Amino acid sequence: MTLASSADDRRYVLTLGCPDTTGIVARIATFLAEVGGSIVEAAYHADQDTGWFFTRQAVRASSIPFGLDELREKFASVAADIGPQTEWTLSDTGKRKRVVLLVSKEGHCLHDILGRVAAGELDAEICAVIGNHRDLEPVAQRHGITFHYVSFPKDPAERGPAFEQVRKLVDAHDPHAVVLARFMQVLPEELCEHWAGRAINIHHSFLPSFIGARPYHQAFTRGVKLIGATCHYVTAELDAGPIIEQDVIRVSHSDSVSDMVRQGRDVEKLVLSRGLRWHLEDRVLVHDSKTVVFR
């Protein structure tokens, strides 16, 4: 699960989902063996509930005698053979994935992601940071990353053009991930669909508890003994998208709302950075409203 720090660490990563039947693993494994593929990581899941099959395989790139395009072409016929509902991807860890970050005023998630990229800990190219406030512009600049300010009108009904502007700025990079790093704006339905499977949000509660605004206030009022954060794909229904990762931290009666906000930030950062890493490493497969995460 380490980054591609040397030529031999380069991997081709296959993900595949399809209705479960006998022989799928054999077909894939036989194909990979025939092309000489040295499998470094392989994970499978057959969902008894939905009858769906999922796999992720990482193959040492140097073990394949031809390039990714040819591998894709050859595998396409295997996939077709498996069945018409088969969904698959093949990616190259040697090519850095592109990420655009949407932010507002709170900087802890932005700081954390940029810090991890700078430290070589998260293998991604941060193409741009887009904010509906200028507060975090210096943070992006300090890391040499373009910051776009998009003004959002107070009236939600008038925000269409602002979202249209965000869409263009994002799409210019054709990113693998659009991260709502405490963006605090509800995406319009058409953007949710347009970025389906790529838009990742961090919600500052342990969903489905405390959906919507001011979850720490809700948690304080309810008197819960643990607070949490949830990283999920964005869908049209608010805070209801497929969950990638969650975690919690213990609180007590002595913690005020601002104590919860402070401690919660640490959970948000960790949960978002894990979820984003897994997404970029093609470890997250979505089916219906749930995820399979091959950690």
Read off the tokens for 53: 């099959």
Q: Is 175 or 241 the residue whose CB approaches a second copy more closely?
A: 241
User: Per-residue string for binding with a second copy, 134-163, x by CB under 8 A?
Assistant: --------x---------------------
Q: Which two tokens stand for residue 189?
A: 């339905």
Q: Is 22 in the site for a second copy (CB under 8 A)?
A: yes
Kindly state the greatest CA–CA separation across the chain: 62
- Of 154 and 250, nearer to a second copy (C-beta) is 250
| 129 vs 166, beta carbon nearer a second copy | 129
Q: Is 49 a catalytic residue?
A: no
Question: Do 61 and 104 meet the contact criterion of CB atoms below 8 Å apart?
Answer: no
Which residue among 4, 10, 19, 29 contacts a second copy (CB under 8 A)? 29
- Lookup result for tokens 């402070």: 262
Residue 246 identity = Q
Of 41, 123, 137, 164, the one binding a second copy (CB under 8 A) is 41
Query: 34 — phi, psi (to 5°)?
Result: -65, -35
Cβ pair 17, 88 in contact under 8 A? yes
Identify the residue among 10, 96, 98, 111 touching a second copy (CB under 8 A): 111
b/e per residue 221-230 (b: at least 16 CB within 10 A): eeebeebbbb
The neighbour count for residue 250, using CB atoms within 10 Å, is 9
Can you tell me the distance from the alpha carbon of 294 to that of 16, in angstroms, rounded to the nearest whole number? 12
Q: Rounded to the nearest whole angstrom, what is the least distance from the CB of residue 96 to a second copy in the complex? A: 17
Contact between 214 and a second copy by CB under 8 A: the answer reads: no
Supply the minimum distance, in Å, between the C-beta of residue 164 and a second copy. 32
Asked if 51 is part of the footprint of a second copy (rule: CB under 8 A), the reply reads no
Active site members: 239
